[in-house]
Amino acid sequence: MQVLVYGAGQLAQMMYLEGCPMGIEVHAVDVKNEQVVHPVSKQVIEISLAHAIANADALTVEFEHVPEHLLEQASRSGKLFPSIDAVLIGADRVREKRLLTRLGVKNCAHQVVTHIDQLDECVEALGERLIVKASRDGYDGYGQWRLTEKSELPALKSALQGLDLQTVPLVVEQMLEFDREVSIIGVRDKQGVVRVYPLAENLHHKGQLHVSVAPAFNITEALQQQAEAIFTTLAEGMEYIGVLAVELFQCGEQLLVNEIAPRVHNSGHWTLSGSDVSQFNNHLRAVTGLPLGRCNSHRISAMINIIACSAFSSDLLSIPGCHLYWYGKTVREKRKMGHINVTAENYAELGDKLLALSEYLPIEYFPKLVSEAKRLK
């Protein structure tokens, strides 16, 4: 079988690697030049995109910001999973908020802004601690601005001056005082079967994910069930097929949706070593019509992103249960170069292993690692 993935980054690469043992051949599309490439070597494959689409059993995406004309072409084949509508919801915060409202899924107080002067109304309605998000093309905290007090409003307005808000509106959210960030990742197949992984806890730094721990520390059964209910409502509401990720804020015992990602997700990378069947494997199964695998966790896992750094000792692999996933990219600021999965029998052991790991890494690039290790111990 063949699967064509729009986007040629690490997520397509990990789908490729998981497809190999199942006899699923994954090709990637570099959406900038519309060429078909090998997901690992990135070498161009001499086949037209139209041919690759015709040859594929399923088409899917590794990120939501795929140019719309390509999504439309993919959708016309009848083989795009998740659907174009689901991808476009994930790519556009206005559509996303509309979906959450339609399905009655709780999220944080917000307003859509199409003219800069509406920001004054936002402060009136939502308070002066705000997070302003471009409705399209944002990721890893790009395309966001923060307001911490009213006096900063003129500066914020001038920072936003050049934007065409009629075309790409802003979504202005109340800055939440959440207890922590978690995510629920699951999969829905073509028969409507839904399976969900345990909640992961996610630690961010400057708007970017640094560490995930799964199952999240101290999660009650009720909270897991609440997350699963949110997941099922969204997946069924979109008639979703494939892996879907839902980022959540935990406020006490209440979960609020931050955003959804219509694809495999960074906070699900732990599944490569901590679950019987990874998110990549399950995604391929869902989009090709194969039976889904278990979404369990057989160990406690941590996933550590390697961001903007390539100089460290591979001797970290001497730590039992430590796995390195390298994406083969050149270093750039904020760029995800790879990740490390660490598995353990319990949280205290995981804490010990993360402390051991910190000895092998240039710690300035891993600002969350030592504090997380100490917390788990």
* Binding site as annotated, residues for ATP: 93, 133, 138-144, 173-176, 181, 204, 258-259
Q: How many positions of this chain bind ligand ATP (CB under 6 A)?
A: 17
Paired tokens of 42? 């990135």
Paired tokens of 366? 């891993």
> Toward ligand ATP, which CB reaches closer, 79 or 336?
336
Q: Is there binding between residue 207 and ligand ATP (CB under 6 A)?
A: yes
Q: Which residues are annotated as a binding site?
A: 93, 133, 138-144, 173-176, 181, 204, 258-259
> Toward Mg ion, which CB reaches closer, 267 or 288?
267
Residue 318: strand, helix, or coil: helix
Q: Is there binding between residue 204 and ligand ATP (CB under 6 A)?
A: yes
- Position among 189, 201, 259, 349 found at the interface with ligand ATP (CB under 6 A): 259
> Toward ligand ATP, which CB reaches closer, 204 or 323?
204
Q: Which residues, 253 to 272, sit near Mg ion by CB under 5 A?
A: 259
Is residue 238 within 8 A of residue 256, CB to CB? The reply is no
Is residue 255 within 8 A of residue 230, CB to CB? The reply is yes
Q: Which residues, 12 to 71, sit near ligand ATP by CB under 6 A?
A: none
Query: Minimal distance in Å, beta carbon 258 to Mg ion?
Result: 6
Say how far apart CA 2 and CA 330 lie, in whole Å.
29
Paired tokens of 205? 């730094």
Query: Minimal distance in Å, beta carbon 173 to ligand ATP?
Result: 4
- Position among 50, 121, 124, 139 found at the interface with ligand ATP (CB under 6 A): 139
Stretch binding Mg ion (CB under 5 A), from 153-161, 214-222, 247-255, 313-321: 247-255
> How remote is the C-alpha of 123 from its chain's centroid?
29
Query: Minimal distance in Å, beta carbon 92 to ligand ATP?
Result: 12
Query: Minimal distance in Å, beta carbon 183 to ligand ATP?
Result: 9
Query: Minimal distance in Å, beta carbon 9 to ligand ATP?
Result: 13
Residue 362: strand, helix, or coil: coil
Query: Minimal distance in Å, beta carbon 183 to Mg ion?
Result: 9
Say how far apart CA 325 and CA 10 lie, in whole Å.
10
Residue 150: strand, helix, or coil: helix
Residue 251: strand, helix, or coil: strand
Q: Is there binding between residue 173 and ligand ATP (CB under 6 A)?
A: yes
Is residue 173 within 8 A of residue 147, CB to CB? The reply is no
> Toward Mg ion, which CB reaches closer, 202 or 297?
202
Query: CB under 5 to 8 A by kind: which of Mg ion, ligand ATP, none does 175 bind?
Result: ligand ATP
Say how far apart CA 239 and CA 143 lie, in whole Å.
29
Query: CB under 5 to 8 A by kind: which of ligand ATP, Mg ion, none does 377 bind?
Result: none
Residues shown for the chain: 377
Is residue 351 within 8 A of residue 338, CB to CB? The reply is no
Q: Is there binding between residue 258 and ligand ATP (CB under 6 A)?
A: yes
Say how far apart CA 314 and CA 9 lie, in whole Å.
22
Query: Minimal distance in Å, beta carbon 109 to ligand ATP?
Result: 9
Q: Is there binding between residue 141 and ligand ATP (CB under 6 A)?
A: yes
| Cα R_g (the chain), whole angstroms | 20
Query: CB under 5 to 8 A by kind: which of ligand ATP, Mg ion, none does 207 bind?
Result: ligand ATP
| Contact map string, positions 213 to 232, toward ligand ATP, x by CB under 6 A | --------------------
Is residue 4 within 8 A of residue 53, CB to CB? The reply is yes
Residue in the structure block whose two tokens are 């692999």: 317
Is residue 329 within 8 A of residue 12, CB to CB? The reply is no
Sign of the four-CA dihedral 346, 347, 352, 355: positive
Q: Which residues bind ligand ATP (CB under 6 A)?
A: 108, 131, 133, 138-142, 173, 175-176, 181, 204, 207, 247, 258-259
